[in-house]
Amino acid sequence: MPVPQLHNKNSGFTLVESLIVFSVFMLLATVTAFMVRPQYQYAEKQSFLTQLKADLLYGQQYAISHQHEVTVNFIPEQHYYCIRDNYLRPFIVERTYPDNITISPGSMPLYFKYLPDGNVSKFGNFYITINGKEYHFTILIGKGRFYVPEE
């Protein structure tokens, strides 16, 4: 019975081929890394604004359902806001927000109250700056409705 002969073939990749594949991979990884950052900033902005709106609506609903005044305070130096029913009771909502978000007063101070009927004690706007973009957070007179258009 004949013994099969082994063929000595060098069928690996050359150094040049390996470097080309590696450079294409690095190029794709770099482009992907730069495209992910804006998506993160957009998600962070949307998350903050959505959470703030939800917290304010919750504070208003709490004031109506419990027939108490509810105080909303923003403390921009500490990147913090809170909603509380009474200074003797625990917070209803207590949140911190990222350092790249700043809140500054506009035509109203950074504190107001929801009255037992759901109306606000003060109306006007304040400014929210997120990654260099400014938003006017406007609270309307009357029923405490609010909106946030991008400036």
- The domain 15-147 is placed in CATH, from the list 2.60.120.330, 3.40.50.720, 3.30.40.10, 3.55.40.10, at 3.55.40.10
Q: Which residues of the chain have pLDDT under 50?
A: none
Residue 129 and residue 3: Cα distance in Å, rounded?
80
For 4-37, the pLDDT digits (tens) are 666 666 677 788 888 999 999 898 888 877 776 6
* pLDDT value of residue 151: 56
**Residue 69 CB contacts under 8 Å (≥ 6 apart), including other chains:** 63, 85, 113, 114, 115, 116, 121
- Ranges of each domain in the chain: 15-147
- For the chain, the first-to-last Cα distance in angstroms comes to 87
109 residue type, one letter:
P
On the CB side of 32, CA atoms within 13 Å amount to: 6
Give the C-alpha separation, 57 to 55, whole Å: 5
**Distances from the Cα of 21 to the Cαs of 11, 12, 107, in angstroms?**
17, 14, 59
- What is the Cα 108 distance to its own chain's centre? 23
What's the pTM value of the predicted model, to 2 decimals?
Answer: 0.75
Structure tokens at 101: 């978000």
Please tell me the distance from the alpha carbon of residue 114 to that of residue 22, in angstroms, as a whole number.
Answer: 60
